[in-house]
Structure 1
Amino acid sequence: MQIWKKNFIVTFLLFVLIINAGTFFLVAAVHRNEFQKETDSAVMEAHNIGTAAAALSGFEAGAGRTAQMGIKYRENGTYIQIREQDTEAGREVINMLPFQVEYTGEKRVWKQKIEGRCFLGIENSVYDNGIKLYILSLRDITRLCRNQNSRIWGSALAALLLSDGIGMFLYTTMRRIYRPVNNIAHELRTPLTNIQGYAQYLKAGKLNPEDIFFAGQQIEQDARNLRDIVDKLLIMGSVREGEIKTESVSSDELLTELKKRYPTVRMNCRTERITGDKTLLLCLMDNLLSNAVRAGTQAELTLEKHKIIVKNDGPPIDGRKLAALNRDIRLAKNEVEGNGFGVSLCHEIARLHKARLKFESDDRSGTVVTMYCSGALKR
């Protein structure tokens, strides 16, 4: 497995752990706070029920009023039972519990689920006006439990979506950062192997001047290739950091330098100056011209006010590969020529200059690459 994929997996799993742990503790804290508030309210309610029942017991119509109070509480989702003793044999003042609950004679709070409904139970006693009453209160908290369950599933779904989003962002970012690395080793190994081979050839001795000249020429060419790869990697490093040096550059100065590298390419200048990073613009045009020269017999570069156009008369690019080039999608190794990150680097440079690259190709016009500029690239 590639190193960047291992890094992605480790980083992603760490993010998933943090997100899910954070979500769990947050939801648990919210639920605990809600349940505590509900418990405090239920305990206060049970105390008030007992106090009211003790006060009503001294009246002749107290039993009827207590029953009415029980009905009213039941309509609001609280079921009560009041006894004069803390045993099953104690006389019941009122009993509206939906199911049988065993007395313990102690103050307690508990949660009970039965037949799909949740109840918060309170057992308490009240001593008022010389009368001691034992109260059992069951508050229906089914809605609260359902809301909490919904919150749990919603939080789990949100954590999953957030993890997926972070995973996609991490994967895209890390693949984009490490994309050139996949080909660097191979690209560096090839010229280094050639240099090593020709060096051993020279060490063998007894060579005529033509052979020595040829070996030296090949070593020089491979060394130049190594330098080009390193230069592009250094340029790509500055591109990744997103820092460019914007300046007004003479178009003739750019074309003069490019003509030294590509003397056979036709170059047209229709704007006097270009605003942007000179090194990056040269790198972009160098990459595009290198591809154009390699793909056809004739190539042409044109600088306009808001455009940089590179043409060649080579065979047309098939639709799938053309779409990948326009969308900056990585191609398979057998479809990549050269070091494999030239086009991607051009897209990066274009984006830094608030521009975009467009690849067009057909039998009649050959291949045309246009950099459309809306920001820095102006006269």
Structure 2
Amino acid sequence: MKKKPKTTLKLWEKSFLLTFCVFFILLNIAFGIWSVYQFKSALTREMEFCRAEAQQLTARISAVNEKAPSELEMERLLHFYSGRQTYLKIIFDGEQWMNSFPDDAILAEHNGTVRVGNDTFYYYDSLLDAGIRDQNAELCYAKNLAGFYGKQYKILAGTAAAMLLISAIVGALLYQAMKRIYRPVSNISHELKTPLTSVMGYAQYLSQTSRLSEADRKFAQQQILQEAYYMKDIVDRVLTLDSIKNTGIHREVISMEPLLEELCQLDDGISIESSLATLECDPVLIKSMLLNLVNNGLRESKSVQIAASAEGITISNEAPALTARDVRHLNQGELLSREKIKGSGYGIPLCHEISKFHGWKLEYTLQHHNLTAHIHFAGK
């Protein structure tokens, strides 16, 4: 079974992961601190409310006369507090007026939160309260805080969901920003491979070949100089691609014959059919785009067909491994896996950008395992 090659993260991807992890950890720490503070504050407010309610009931009981309230009043009081999951036991002058506590009585040696089974209660006994001590009236108050905790859990879950959403949005924006920053470097490294190979070849030719004629030496030097100027131009253009959106590209009318002849010299498998004499474009960018498309075709097939006309330029080659879905990815400027296309279609995102800068459209089609890149000129 063929093993899949290990995926190596690019430097900018590693930087993104490190930056996002630091951001996510700090956000979680801040979220944890805020959650603890918010919960403690809410619990303190809830306990203060329960205590105030219990003290108010004790004061009302102490203010009544010795006559016990009617059964109807008792039922109303029980119904009101049972709906709020609150238990009451009222003793007045040694006589028990009311007791809604369950059989397993909730007892505590202090006022405050107590744990009974799986539930947490706020317990209050007026005799334990130093502030209100009346031997004739005693109130035992216990409120189930399950509703309070449930509300807090919902707030916590909502906050966590919001934190994850914020993390996802920030992560996506950070990823796109770092990818955008890295793109010129990636494009430059890709674009320099071909001219660097040519320079190295001619340099080795000059150093290793003895008894060169003056004409051959001069030709090799001219090629090295030409490729050096091309590398300088492509670096300048690619680094300023973002600013080109605002300033516009440098356009001039060029003759297509020399450019097509240069492409034809790349490989014996390249065939050209052209009725396009001139083209208004940025010479460096159009050369970069055509070199990318032709080289991608040569990686997939031994032969590449180039056709140029007033409507546009097409570059075709066989691509038996590609599917219609892969072509959709290429039209969106996405890279493919090396199992699908050799070189992953590297340089295609740059080709899409160059086309847009010129007002053209780059579109891929696949028919009978033959992949064609169409460069549609504006208004055609």
If the length of structure 2 is used for normalisation, what is the TM-score? 0.69
Letter in 1 for 2:120: C
Deviations 1:119-145 (A, max 9, x none): 2233444649x7664533222221221
Counterpart of 2:154 in structure 1 is 150
Letter in 2 for 1:149: Y
Q: Check 1:192–1:360 CA distance in 2 against 1; reply closer, same or farther (3 A cut).
A: same
Residues 317 and 370 of structure 2 are in contact (CA less than 8 Å); yes or no, is this contact kept in structure 1?
no
Residues 81 and 87 of structure 2 are in contact (CA less than 8 Å); yes or no, is this contact kept in structure 1?
yes
> Aligned runs of 1:28-107 on 2, under 5 Å?
28-56=36-64, 58-62=65-69, 67-68=74-75, 70-71=77-78, 72-82=80-90, 94-98=98-102, 99-104=104-109
Distance 1:246 1:240 in 2: 10
SS in 2 for 1:262: helix
Q: Check 1:292–1:35 CA distance in 2 against 1; reply closer, same or farther (3 A cut).
A: closer
Q: Check 1:189–1:134 CA distance in 2 against 1; reply closer, same or farther (3 A cut).
A: farther
Residues 284 and 345 of structure 1 are in contact (CA less than 8 Å); yes or no, is this contact kept in structure 2?
no
Letter in 2 for 1:121: Y
Distance 2:217 2:136 in 1: 111
> Aligned runs of 1:212-223 on 2, under 5 Å?
213-214=215-216, 217-223=219-225
Q: Check 1:310–1:76 CA distance in 2 against 1; reply closer, same or farther (3 A cut).
A: same
> Aligned runs of 1:115-264 on 2, under 5 Å?
115-124=117-126, 125=129, 127=132, 133-164=137-168, 166-168=170-172, 170-171=174-175, 174-175=178-179, 177-178=181-182, 181=186, 184=189, 187=193, 190=197, 193-194=200-201, 197=204, 200-201=207-208, 207-210=210-213, 213-214=215-216, 217-240=219-242, 243-246=245-248, 253-254=252-253, 256-262=254-260
More displaced 10-residue stretch of structure 1: 166-175 or 12-21: 166-175
Residues 304 and 317 of structure 2 are in contact (CA less than 8 Å); yes or no, is this contact kept in structure 1?
no
Letter in 2 for 1:20: N
Using the TM superposition, give the Cα deviation of residue 79 of structure 1 relative to its aligned residue in structure 2, in angstroms.
1.4
Deviations 1:3-53 (A, max 9, x none): 222202111202312332343344444434433332232122111110111
Residues 191 and 226 of structure 1 are in contact (CA less than 8 Å); yes or no, is this contact kept in structure 2?
no
Structure with more contact order per residue of length (Cα contacts < 8 Å, sep ≥ 6): 1
Q: 2:12 aligns with which of 4, 16, 41?
A: 4
Using the TM superposition, give the Cα deviation of residue 170 of structure 1 relative to its aligned residue in structure 2, in angstroms.
4.1
Q: 2:314 aligns with which of 298, 311, 314?
A: 311
Counterpart of 1:285 in structure 2 is 286
Q: Check 1:184–1:365 CA distance in 2 against 1; reply closer, same or farther (3 A cut).
A: closer
Counterpart of 2:112 in structure 1 is 109
Distance 2:37 2:17 in 1: 30
Residues 268 and 303 of structure 1 are in contact (CA less than 8 Å); yes or no, is this contact kept in structure 2?
yes
Counterpart of 2:308 in structure 1 is 301
Gapped runs of 5+ residues in structure 2? 1-8, 262-271, 298-302
Distance 1:119 1:77 in 2: 10
Gapped runs of 5+ residues in structure 1? none
Distance 2:15 2:30 in 1: 22
Using the TM superposition, give the Cα deviation of residue 78 of structure 1 relative to its aligned residue in structure 2, in angstroms.
1.8
Query: How many residues were matched structurally?
Result: 344
Q: Check 1:61–1:363 CA distance in 2 against 1; reply closer, same or farther (3 A cut).
A: closer
Letter in 1 for 2:307: E
Taking only aligned residues, the RMSD between alpha carbons, in angstroms, comes to 4.4
Distance 2:99 2:318 in 1: 90
Q: Check 1:347–1:55 CA distance in 2 against 1; reply closer, same or farther (3 A cut).
A: same
Distance 2:101 2:186 in 1: 72
Distance 1:315 1:218 in 2: 31
Residues 265 and 301 of structure 1 are in contact (CA less than 8 Å); yes or no, is this contact kept in structure 2?
yes
Counterpart of 1:344 in structure 2 is 349
Residues 79 and 139 of structure 1 are in contact (CA less than 8 Å); yes or no, is this contact kept in structure 2?
yes
Residues 106 and 142 of structure 2 are in contact (CA less than 8 Å); yes or no, is this contact kept in structure 1?
no
Letter in 1 for 2:160: A
Residues 50 and 134 of structure 1 are in contact (CA less than 8 Å); yes or no, is this contact kept in structure 2?
yes
SS in 2 for 1:244: helix
Q: Check 1:60–1:292 CA distance in 2 against 1; reply closer, same or farther (3 A cut).
A: closer
Determine if the alignment matches structure 1 residue 360 to structure 2 residue 365.
yes
Distance 1:192 1:134 in 2: 100
Using the TM superposition, give the Cα deviation of residue 194 of structure 1 relative to its aligned residue in structure 2, in angstroms.
4.3
Using the TM superposition, give the Cα deviation of residue 159 of structure 1 relative to its aligned residue in structure 2, in angstroms.
3.4
Letter in 2 for 1:287: S
Distance 2:242 2:67 in 1: 89
Distance 2:87 2:43 in 1: 18
User: Percent of pairs identical after alignment?
Assistant: 17
Counterpart of 2:23 in structure 1 is 15
Distance 2:115 2:170 in 1: 38
Letter in 2 for 1:261: L
Letter in 1 for 2:63: A
Letter in 1 for 2:116: I
Deviations 1:98-119 (A, max 9, x none): 3434454x6x432x44344332
Q: Check 1:298–1:146 CA distance in 2 against 1; reply closer, same or farther (3 A cut).
A: closer
